[in-house]
């Protein structure tokens, strides 16, 4: 292990390994010969420090924001100070040569600035557009705070030795808004691990005695539009008379309680399951059983240019997808989704109903979606480009036989899962749950 191989990754949005993108990045770096340490918030029951799969995890107690701008500002400050303390500890114990900061928020470049004079280099892994997140979350964003967020973003762009973007839309913003060049930006998409995320055993009890199961997987914040999924279900059940459909909402977020209340208000409690926090086992059971998945994200400054992890995860499980027609969602799913004009809830419900009544169309989308996930979107295809960023900024030259290559992926598309007939199910007990992130952006984070 040479001294140019030590990487510190800072992430505030989610604990690791709950943050699947960051965890896959850690594994890619370790496999390529890097020594990796991560600073992140604790999840429930997490220790202060642990070694997991050759990755050193340092964790702090997170500050939980309530609501409002000042609460979020306090969260950023408290987490920043706790991260700075742990970074000092890591530097004292082992040192690091590269810091990768993962946003949101765009505050940790200021921390990395303290280590630049020691030769530490900075990689900016831009998961979100913080100004757009703010604009999408609050109805009347403060001009002063918005300008502050743009300034933090510019500082992070300016101090970074390399910028990693999750899609081409983000890369263009780094070039246009951050003054970066194509040479110092790299697109690394948040692809699913399709060897792990694949259709498995069907659990008919999750349909709660109904013929069809719809699923949503992801964060439940103001910008995520989960209420659109509930309102579309309301149209299906109460206007179109569909008594054969159940919806499972996997995940948590700021709007979780409001969504539960909305389901009750719409008289949908018998047609909806809220799972709360979803681990891989729960995700596997629900997405292996579901007949269709929904992407209810509304058109806003953030969503239109963001890649939705849930869409790729749906496709990895061979699920047909109904989604609003957003720029980067169409890049992800291409022609393997049912697209609806943004904001058209009636059209969303109609698209769901058309797919439910067309098993051949569902089977076609299932097969082609799984195939695209394996052959185009799989995380292994992103690994060489990601590792190359660190090789370049550390000056590491690999012998030809040591080149980082995508791992082989099983491209076989599983046969369409067998569906039990309506009425053959026995209602299951309602699952319990607790509530992140990309968040993930997914329900586990």
pLDDT category of residue 71 using cuts at 50, 70 and 90: confident
Q: What is the DSSP letter of 188?
A: -
Same domain, 209 and 314: yes
Same domain, 226 and 145: no
Residue 281 pLDDT: 93
Cα-atom radius of gyration of the chain, to the nearest Å? 22
**Final residue in a domain of this structure, among 375, 390, 414:** 375
Tell me the average pLDDT across 53-77: 84
Same domain, 211 and 179: no
Which is more confidently placed, 408 or 353?
A: 353
User: Which pair of structure tokens corresponds to residue 131?
Assistant: 């100004």
User: Which pair of structure tokens corresponds to residue 283?
Assistant: 């995700």
Same domain, 363 and 334: yes
CB-based contact 280:193 (threshold 8 Å): no
pLDDT, one tens digit per residue, over 281-332 is: 999 999 999 999 999 999 998 999 999 999 999 999 999 999 999 999 999 9
Q: Residue 417 domain-assigned?
A: no
User: Which pair of structure tokens corresponds to residue 20?
Assistant: 């699947």
**Final residue in a domain of this structure, among 375, 397, 428:** 375
DSSP string, 365-417: HHHHHHHHIIIII-GGGTHHHHHHHHHHHHT----GGG---PPP---PPPPPP
Q: Provide the domain count of the chain.
A: 2
DSSP string, 53-92: TTEEEEEEPPP---SSHHHHHHHHHHHHHHHHHHHHHHHH
pLDDT of 422 > 70? The answer is no
pLDDT, one tens digit per residue, over 88-129 is: 999 999 999 999 999 999 999 999 999 988 999 999 999 999
Q: What is the DSSP letter of 303?
A: G
Phi, psi of 252 (to 5 degrees): -160, 175
* Range with lowest mean pLDDT among 212-216, 367-371, 399-403: 399-403
pLDDT of 194 > 50? The answer is yes
Same domain, 181 and 280: no
- SS3 for 29? helix
**Final residue in a domain of this structure, among 188, 215, 237:** 188
CB atoms within 10 A of CB 345: 19
* Range with lowest mean pLDDT among 21-25, 55-59, 113-117, 381-385: 113-117
Q: Residue 79 domain-assigned?
A: yes
pLDDT category of residue 167 using cuts at 50, 70 and 90: very high
Same domain, 294 and 359: yes
Q: State the Cα–Cα distance between residues 80 and 98, nearest whole angstrom.
A: 18
Same domain, 154 and 229: no
Same domain, 181 and 214: no
Q: State the Cα–Cα distance between residues 287 and 437, nearest whole angstrom.
A: 18
Q: Residue 438 domain-assigned?
A: no
Q: Report residue 41 CA to chain centroid gap.
A: 17
pLDDT category of residue 396 using cuts at 50, 70 and 90: confident
CATH number of the domain at 275, please: 3.40.50.2000
Same domain, 141 and 60: yes
| Domain interval for residue 171 | 3-188
């Amino acid at each position: 292990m040479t001294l140019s191989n030590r990487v510190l990754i800072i992430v505030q949005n989610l604990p690791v390994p709950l943050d699947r993108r960051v965890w896959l990045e850690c594994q890619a770096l370790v496999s390529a010969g890097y020594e990796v340490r991560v600073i992140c918030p604790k999840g429930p029951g997490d220790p202060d420090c642990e070694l997991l799969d050759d990755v050193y995890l340092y964790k702090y107690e997170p500050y939980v924001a309530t609501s409002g701008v000042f609460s979020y500002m306090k969260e950023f400050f408290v987490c920043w100070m706790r991260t700075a303390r742990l970074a000092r500890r890591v530097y004292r114990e082992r040192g690091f040569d590269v810091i990768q900061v993962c946003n949101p928020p765009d505050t940790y470049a200021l921390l990395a600035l303290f280590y630049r004079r020691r030769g530490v280099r900075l990689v900016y892994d831009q998961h979100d557009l913080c100004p757009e997140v703010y604009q999408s979350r609050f109805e009347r964003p403060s001009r002063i705070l918005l300008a502050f967020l743009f300034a933090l973003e510019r500082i992070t762009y300016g101090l970074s030795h390399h910028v990693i973007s999750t899609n081409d839309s983000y890369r263009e913003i780094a070039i246009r808004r951050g003054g970066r060049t194509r040479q110092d930006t790299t697109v690394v998409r948040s692809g699913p691990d399709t060897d792990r995320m694949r259709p498995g055993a069907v659990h008919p009890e999750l349909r709660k005695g109904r013929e069809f199961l719809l699923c949503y997987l992801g964060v439940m914040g103001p910008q995520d539009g989960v209420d659109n999924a509930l309102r579309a279900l309301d149209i299906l059940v109460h206007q179109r008379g569909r008594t054969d459909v159940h919806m499972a909402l996997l995940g948590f977020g700021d709007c979780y309680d409001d969504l539960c209340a909305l389901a009750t208000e719409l008289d949908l409690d018998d047609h909806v399951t809220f799972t709360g926090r979803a681990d891989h086992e729960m995700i596997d059971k629900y997405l292996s059983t579901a007949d269709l998945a929904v992407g209810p994200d509304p058109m806003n400054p953030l969503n239109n240019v963001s890649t939705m992890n849930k869409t790729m995860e749906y496709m990895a499980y061979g699920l047909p997808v109904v989604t609003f027609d957003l720029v980067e969602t169409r890049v992800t799913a291409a022609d393997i989704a049912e697209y609806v004009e943004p904001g058209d809830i009636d059209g969303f419900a109609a698209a769901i109903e058309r797919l439910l009544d067309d098993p051949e169309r569902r089977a076609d989308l299932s097969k082609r979606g799984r195939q695209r996930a394996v052959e185009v979107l799989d995380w292994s295809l992103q690994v060489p480009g990601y590792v190359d960023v660190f090789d370049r900024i550390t000056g590491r030259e690999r012998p030809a036989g040591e080149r980082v290559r995508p791992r082989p992926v099983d491209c076989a598309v599983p046969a369409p899962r067998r569906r039990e007939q309506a009425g053959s199910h026995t209602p299951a007990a309602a699952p319990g749950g607790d509530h992140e992130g990309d968040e993930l952006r997914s329900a586990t984070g």
